[in-house]
Structure 1
């Protein structure tokens, strides 16, 4: 079973932090195999209800995400990608536990998306939020998203993201989607494997 094979390949790799070059090759092969069995090849038109929700990152090859783990005194915690099709929004939320008590952080990026075709969206990153979970009153991704959507101000580094006009748009393609698993490929060549409990 391709899905079980992929889940076995990424098990114990800490979202990719512990993956060796050989592991990454095997995982990419398992991802490619599973993509051939995609039950929803047109997710933006035929399975938008499955795409919606709070997805937890199981594996990525994105070094910019995995690099958070290299900062001193912190570890990369759970990462969520929360998709809200009703307002074309994506919220990337990384929990960042600290080795220093009371300094557990949160990094959130707010983006909007526009469908390019039935499986790919262009992504416009709009806002970044970096702060301590205690000062933001963070408990769950859904609660943070509700606060953001309600215009709440946060005691945090809260900045707009301005992408240069001459730069090609960021994009994300959904290459596999079922009720509990999603695979995406991004414009920088990264792959993402996420689950929805």
Structure 2
């Protein structure tokens, strides 16, 4: 599909949005809107098999996510979102790279509830921050499985105040390997399905 190729070319070289100029952002948003017009699954929440699993972030406009790269001596590694439609759970997993043996992890867990066939209300419930080796981190799937089994991680594993940690996400495009979402703060998220 020509629109999908155009979008992927537009985000190439932007390092998930970290290197995007204002002109890049305008071109990417235009390409997103064109692809959204060709959404093969306009009711994405009906397609559990497509949605469930790990998704790797390709591009975002979220300053909260991109801001993780602004600390000295570290840089933002891969970012994943794990979705479990049946249980209404999602986990955002950000790998932080830095000095050897000091690679870190920032994880936010949330529950969600469908409010339409495209939109979910999200309630952020838990945050975990720590060194990957202390957390025994190997990959997002393994880590999420440990979380789902109720494992607690130290030193920083805390609950979030649900009243102040709510939002929504609307899935505006979904195919077998690409998902586009728009959040309540006006952010755009483009993710690729992990095998």
The TM-score bracket by the shorter chain reads over 0.9
Q: Distance in 2 between matches of 1:174 and 1:86?
A: 17
Aligned to 2:76: 76
SS at match of 2:109: strand
Matched length? 193
**Corresponding residue of 2:10:** 9
Q: For 2:51 and 2:100, how far apart are their aligned partners in 1?
A: 36
Report the counterpart of residue 158 of structure 1 in structure 2: 157
Q: 1:6-155 maps to which residues of 2 (within 5 A)? A: 6-45=7-46, 47-98=47-98, 100-155=99-154
Match of residue 174, structure 2, among 156, 167, 177:
177
Aligned partner of 2:187 in structure 1 is 190
Deviation track 1:24-60 (CA, whole Å, cap 9, x = no partner) reads 0000000000000000010112x12101110000000
Q: CA deviation at 1:163?
A: 3.3
Tell me, in whole angstroms, the C-alpha distance in 1 between the residues paired with 2:152 and 2:170: 32
Question: Counterpart of 1:163 in 2: which secondary structure?
Answer: coil
Structure 1 contact 132–156 (Cα < 8 Å) conserved: no
Any stretches of 5+ residues in structure 2 without a counterpart?
Answer: none
Residues 49-73 of structure 1, C-alpha deviations (whole Å, 9 max, x = no match): 1011100000000011000000111
3-state DSSP of counterpart to 1:114: strand
Q: CA deviation at 1:155?
A: 2.4
What is the TM-score normalised by the length of structure 2?
0.96
Contact 1:10–1:27 (CA under 8 A) maintained in structure 2: yes
1:153 CA displacement? 2.0
Aligned counterparts of 2:76 and 2:145: Cα–Cα separation in 1: 23
Report Cα offsets for 1:151-187 as digits up to 9, x if no partner. Answer: 112123101010336x8x4000000000000000000
Paired residue secondary structure (2:7): helix
Which runs of 4 or more aligned residues in structure 1 lie more than 3 Å from their structure 2 counterparts after TM superposition? none
